[in-house]
Chain A
């Protein structure tokens, strides 16, 4: 069964601290993996995409990693800001044209002053 598991379910950190969110997947055949940020009351917005051949990709203070062998991805946030408070959702696309995206349940991050 195609699944995407995220951990932790929720996380509270102090402003300025770093954190790492985890995503494990059992999706096959894998095409790509995206991390989305979902602010409260809004739709998810893509942060970064990882394809099979990519190990690390950065987007500002966000760095995503992918280990296709162990089927794990992480999202590292550096020097967190209050505006980073959101849900972070890991989404995997199957390498097939007529299959839905497979979503994780997300990690709810709260950054406090």
Chain B
């Protein structure tokens, strides 16, 4: 498709389970970001992929969070042993490397941990 695609759009999981969230960026975009948005809060940076460079993982809140980007395209964010405080909307964005261009966001995955 033409935009950033995220799946699933909604996910309800039990506390302690693992979840995987998927992001398909815009074709050709080399930069990919994961953000988290808790209810009523701003966007919290999680991780950043840029081409073949080592990802910037400085925003991951704990070692339960990890992300991969295979073949420079699709990315998967994995949360292990989910906790209730992990409940949030997880947004993925991609952009071309050029600094002046905008980031294009997916619709997000709403994760609810019960």
A71 proximal to B (CB < 8 A): no
Residue contact A32 to B103, C-beta cutoff 8 Å: no
Interface residues contributed by chain A, number (CB under 8 Å): 24
A43 proximal to B (CB < 8 A): yes
Task: Please report which residues of chain A, range 56-103, place their CB below 8 angstroms from some CB of chain B when the two chains form the complex.
Answer: 89, 91, 93, 95, 97-101, 103
In the complex, what residues of B have CB within 8 A of residue A43's CB? 4, 91, 93, 105-108
Residue contact B42 to A100, C-beta cutoff 8 Å: no
B100 proximal to A (CB < 8 A): yes
A7 proximal to B (CB < 8 A): no
A28 proximal to B (CB < 8 A): no
Interface residues contributed by chain B, number (CB under 8 Å): 23
Question: Nearest-CB distance from B92 to chain A (Å)?
Answer: 8
In the complex, what residues of B have CB within 8 A of residue A111's CB? none
Rounded to whole angstroms, the CA-CA distance of A10 and B91 in the bound complex is 22
Q: Which B residue's beta carbon lies closest to that of A108?
A: B40
Question: Nearest-CB distance from A21 to chain B (Å)?
Answer: 14
Residue contact A32 to B4, C-beta cutoff 8 Å: no
In the complex, what residues of B have CB within 8 A of residue A51's CB? 100
Question: Nearest-CB distance from A58 to chain B (Å)?
Answer: 17
Q: Interface of A with B (CB < 8 Å)?
A: 31-32, 34, 41-46, 49, 51, 89, 91, 93, 95, 97-101, 103-106
Q: A44-B105, A46-B103 are in contact. List 14 more A-B contacts (CB 8 A).
A: A34-B102, A41-B107, A42-B108, A43-B108, A44-B91, A49-B102, A93-B99, A98-B53, A100-B33, A100-B48, A101-B45, A101-B103, A103-B42, A103-B45
Q: Interface of B with A (CB < 8 Å)?
A: 4, 33, 35, 41-43, 45, 48, 50, 53, 56, 59, 91, 93, 97, 99-100, 102-103, 105-108
